[in-house]
Structure 1
């Protein structure tokens, strides 16, 4: 797997939505789960975020917090775009924070957070 896929890939469908619309989010976790990376998520937190080069003053909006089913290589669900204050023409992304355990120097686990994103247009 390429380094760019270390934390998986995220797809949002449809990619153009309005507040109140349903959206399907699919996160492929085949690469993170591979022996190359051995990243096994505990939690997957999904957010709508404004891109940093946009207006810069919108806080992330939580879409879902999910516990990862370790029998799968993906996470897939449908949710509703919250009735937030979105700026017309602004660039947004759906971001997934992946919380996963790693072993520390004594062998005791601790949690790290990383993630990946997909684009979304909110009208």
Structure 2
């Protein structure tokens, strides 16, 4: 269980560090080709989402009792992402979000399974 937790935690941390870093550092024009929703959300909120992703990535690499909170937070973040895509009529784009949601939920479960 510990190995599975750390493998998932590190993979999620890498993904969210990359994604959050882009949201925090890039302009709206640079983000638009990959994230069409940035036109409908204020850039301040996009930056906050990026910062939350960076914090979640860091939290996953901390001891598992803190990793649980990070994984749960990232799970909730993906729920919001799925809702956003569905409201925009982009149901075809939620595959990655569902995968990330399941991965972060499993990571949270794995962390609690051996605490």
TM-score by length of 1: 0.26
Structure 1 or 2, whichever has the larger Rg, is 1
More helix per residue: 2
TM-score by length of 2: 0.27
More strand per residue: 1
